[in-house]
């Protein structure tokens, strides 16, 4: 559309003036018109594409369906207590090998009663799930059987912390077998809400589930509007068209502050939905080369640019602050702290400058493409022959997640703070990072079999120590989740089922 630079400059000047005038005008914000109607509208930044949580691990899906529509057997609360979900009670044998769940006499949102057969079907589906976070909870499960019409017994071959925690996460979600065919567009469960409609790239509509076994939620109708453009999302919030953006990404921070939205709305930060951001250095590289690369990762610079405003902490531990084995960055917990001079000396001494290296950057996720702006120049300044390869998610999946061998040298990723994802006892089974350490895997297995929480914690710390010393998975910061809420919208609780934002506790 640009015909020449003159017309572009003219347009730019006009628009700048218009933007300044608009910014100076008072907004139309008032109390939400939905408060009296018992409604609420939230904003999602990504479209899930599918709602089949048995096959997809996308955050865009896990934010809305678990806990609201489909419930797990139990809930793990923030204070460490466990609440009933689809199971109204449970017993665990002293040797922690037998779990017996008494299933609640309840109905699914489609009106059908919850049966033991549905529970067994759901658990077996998750056991076979292609999503590793779901299936990994069942590694120690040897049988899932019906005891009577209301009781299910699960027998383990060894004690497993992962199994028990999984029953309160997506691995423990219960669905009716008869409705499994429509799960991708209309998942059914026992949660306080039921899905009314899902229009991809537009909205998810929920309403209260009349068959819900618990107390009816205060807000009857919930809409999750999918607004992929960040500015459009903030516009909708400021105009009062939506009531909350519960998950804000770093690319919006500057604009959000400039518009004063942090003052006119309630800002909530919460670690549960946060993510560790970490560099992955291909394990095929020489260990000393990996260590030298790790020394170029300037956590503070990265945090200043992309995390500090969010209360993110520098860390060398693959965990979030709400996980008990978490440690902030310190001389003790960081074997390869940022030290550009030492990195330069190593590059010169070992001749690493002649080794061509590739930094793979995920171009369509701002949180993951922006770090390259800091990381790549620093690595180049240290003397590494580093080039940046910016690619979209599908290509990134092909080259890196599924690449055998993965085609990258360095990349930066953020995601679940699940240390089990790096477990690997057999190199042929190495996952996308290529990280495969027998010691690390054994430490995690030992932790999984721990009979007490204290023992579990000690073993997880041991595993975290092995991971950080290998300089393959190199944690950078622990980000917190940040949300903006209409000031009259109260009751937000930190997610209990993975990252799910629960609608039911929210009220006007």
Partner 1 sequence: MPIYIARKLAFFILAVIAASIAIFLLIRGAGGNVAAVVLGKDATAEAINALAQQYGLDRPMVVQYFDWIGKLLQGDLGRSFRTNESVADLVVSRLSISIPLCVSGLVLGLLIAIPAGTYSALYSDRPLGALVALLSQVGIAVPVFWAGILLSLLFGVRLGWLPTGGWTNWDANFWGAVRSLVLPVISLGLILGASLTRYVRSAVLDVMNQDYVRTARATGMTQMQALLQVGLRNAALPIATVVGLQIAELIGGTVIIETVFSLPGLSRMILANVAAREVIVVQSTVMLIIIFVMLINLIVDLLYGVLDPRVRLAR
Residues in region 377-396 near partner 1 by CB under 8 A: 392-396
Please check whether residue 430 is in contact with residue 406, taking contact to mean a CB–CB distance below 8 angstroms.
no
Of 109, 91, 192, 66, the closest CA to residue 151 belongs to: 91
- Stretch 336-365 residues interacting with partner 1 (CB under 8 A): 364
Any contact of residue 300 with partner 1 (CB under 8 A)? no
Q: Residue count at the site for partner 1 (CB under 8 A)?
A: 71
Any contact of residue 26 with partner 1 (CB under 8 A)? yes
Q: How far apart are CB 94 and partner 1 at their closest, in Å?
A: 33
Return d(Cα 110, Cα 209) in angstroms, integer.
Answer: 9
Any contact of residue 473 with partner 1 (CB under 8 A)? no
Any contact of residue 127 with partner 1 (CB under 8 A)? no
Q: How far apart are CB 51 and partner 1 at their closest, in Å?
A: 8
Please check whether residue 98 is in contact with residue 155, taking contact to mean a CB–CB distance below 8 angstroms.
yes
Any contact of residue 240 with partner 1 (CB under 8 A)? yes
CB under 8 A: which stretch of 25-33, 94-102, 110-118, 149-157 binds partner 1? 25-33
Q: How far from chain centre, in Å, is Cα 387?
A: 28
Instruction: Give strand pairing partners of 267.
Output: 484
* Burial (Cβ within 10 Å: 0-12, 13-18, ≥19) of residue 428: exposed
Please check whether residue 438 is in contact with residue 423, taking contact to mean a CB–CB distance below 8 angstroms.
no
Any contact of residue 331 with partner 1 (CB under 8 A)? no
CB under 8 A: which stretch of 15-23, 143-151, 304-312, 464-472 binds partner 1? 15-23
Please check whether residue 198 is in contact with residue 51, taking contact to mean a CB–CB distance below 8 angstroms.
yes
Q: Give the x/- contact pattern for partner 1 in 394-433, rule: CB under 8 A.
A: xxxxxx-xx-x--------x-xx----x-------x-xx-
Return d(Cα 54, Cα 290) in angstroms, integer.
Answer: 36
Please check whether residue 485 is in contact with residue 237, taking contact to mean a CB–CB distance below 8 angstroms.
no
Of 454, 435, 455, the closest CA to residue 443 belongs to: 455
Any contact of residue 258 with partner 1 (CB under 8 A)? no
Q: How far apart are CB 224 and partner 1 at their closest, in Å?
A: 11
CB under 8 A: which stretch of 187-195, 197-205, 473-481, 494-502 binds partner 1? 197-205
Any contact of residue 366 with partner 1 (CB under 8 A)? no
- Stretch 77-106 residues interacting with partner 1 (CB under 8 A): none
Q: Give the x/- contact pattern for partner 1 in 27-56, rule: CB under 8 A.
A: xx------------------x-xxxx--xx
Please write down the HEC assignment for all residues of 79-102.
Answer: CCCEEECCEEEEEECCCCCEEEEE
| The one among 130, 260, 377, 405 contacting partner 1 by CB under 8 A | 130
Any contact of residue 11 with partner 1 (CB under 8 A)? yes
Complex with partner 1: residue 113 or 415, whichever CB lies closer: 415
Complex with partner 1: residue 19 or 147, whichever CB lies closer: 19
- Stretch 199-238 residues interacting with partner 1 (CB under 8 A): 199-203, 225-229, 231-232, 235-236, 238
Complex with partner 1: residue 134 or 314, whichever CB lies closer: 134
Element (H, E) at 482: strand 481-485
| The one among 115, 124, 132, 389 contacting partner 1 by CB under 8 A | 132
Return d(Cα 376, Cα 387) in angstroms, integer.
Answer: 7
CB under 8 A: which stretch of 9-17, 298-306, 320-328, 472-480 binds partner 1? 9-17
Token pair belonging to 208: 């209260």
Please check whether residue 273 is in contact with residue 499, taking contact to mean a CB–CB distance below 8 angstroms.
yes
Using alpha carbons only, what angle is made at residue 395 by residues 393 and 396, rounded to the nearest 5 degrees?
A: 60
Return d(Cα 218, Cα 224) in angstroms, integer.
Answer: 17
């Amino acid at each position: 559309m640009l015909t020449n630079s003159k017309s572009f400059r003219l347009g730019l000047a006009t628009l700048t003036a218009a933007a300044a005038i608009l910014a100076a005008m008072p907004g139309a914000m008032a109390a939400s018109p939905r408060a009296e109607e018992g409604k609420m509208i939230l904003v999602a930044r990504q479209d899930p594409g599918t709602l089949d949580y048995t096959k997809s691990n996308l955050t865009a899906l896990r934010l809305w369906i678990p806990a609201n529509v489909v419930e797990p057997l139990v809930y793990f609360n923030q204070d460490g207590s466990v609440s009933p979900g689809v199971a109204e009670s449970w017993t665990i044998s002293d040797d922690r090998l037998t779990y017996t769940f008494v299933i609640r006499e309840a109905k699914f949102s489609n009106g059908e009663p919850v049966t033991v057969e549905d529970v067994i079907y759901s658990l077996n589906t998750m056991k076979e799930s292609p999503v590793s976070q779901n299936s990994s909870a069942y590694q120690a499960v040897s049988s899932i059987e019906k005891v009577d019409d209301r009781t299910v017994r699960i027998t383990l071959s060894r004690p497993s912390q992962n199994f028990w925690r999984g029953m309160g996460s997506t691995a423990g979600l219960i669905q009716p077998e008869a409705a499994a065919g429509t799960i991708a567009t209309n998942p059914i469960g026992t949660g306080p809400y039921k899905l009314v409609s899902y229009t991809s790239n537009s909205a998810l509509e929920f309403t209260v589930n009349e068959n819900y076994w618990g107390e009816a939620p205060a807000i009857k109708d919930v809409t999750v509007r999918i607004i992929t453009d960040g500015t459009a999302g903030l516009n909708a919030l400021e105009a009062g068209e939506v009531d909350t953006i519960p998950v804000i990404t770093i690319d919006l921070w500057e604009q959000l502050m400039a518009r004063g939205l942090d003052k006119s709305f309630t800002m909530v930060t919460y670690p549960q939905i946060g993510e560790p951001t970490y560099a992955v250095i291909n394990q095929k590289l020489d260990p000393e080369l990996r260590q030298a690369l790790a020394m170029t990762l300037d956590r503070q610079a990265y945090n200043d640019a992309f995390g500090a405003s969010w209360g993110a902490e520098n860390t060398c531990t693959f965990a979030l602050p709400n996980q008990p084995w978490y440690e902030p960055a310190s001389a003790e917990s960081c074997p390869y702290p940022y030290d550009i001079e030492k990195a330069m000396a190593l590059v010169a001494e070992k001749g690493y400058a002649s080794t061509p290296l590739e930094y793979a950057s995920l171009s369509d996720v701002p949180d993951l493409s922006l770090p390259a702006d800091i990381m790549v120049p620093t690595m180049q300044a240290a003397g590494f022959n580093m080039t940046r390869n910016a690619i979209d998610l599908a290509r990134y999946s092909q080259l890196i997640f599924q690449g055998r061998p993965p085609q990258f040298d360095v990349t930066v990723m953020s995601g679940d703070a699940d240390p089990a994802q790096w477990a690997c006892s057999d190199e042929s089974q190495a996952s996308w990072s290529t990280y495969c350490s027998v010691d690390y895997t054994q430490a995690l297995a030992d932790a999984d079999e721990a009979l007490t929480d204290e023992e579990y914690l000690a073993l997880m710390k041991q595993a975290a120590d092995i991971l950080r010393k290998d300089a393959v998975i190199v944690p950078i910061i622990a980000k917190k989740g940040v949300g903006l809420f209409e000031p009259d919208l109260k009751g937000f609780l930190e997610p209990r089922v993975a990252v799910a934002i629960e609608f039911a506790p929210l009220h006007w």
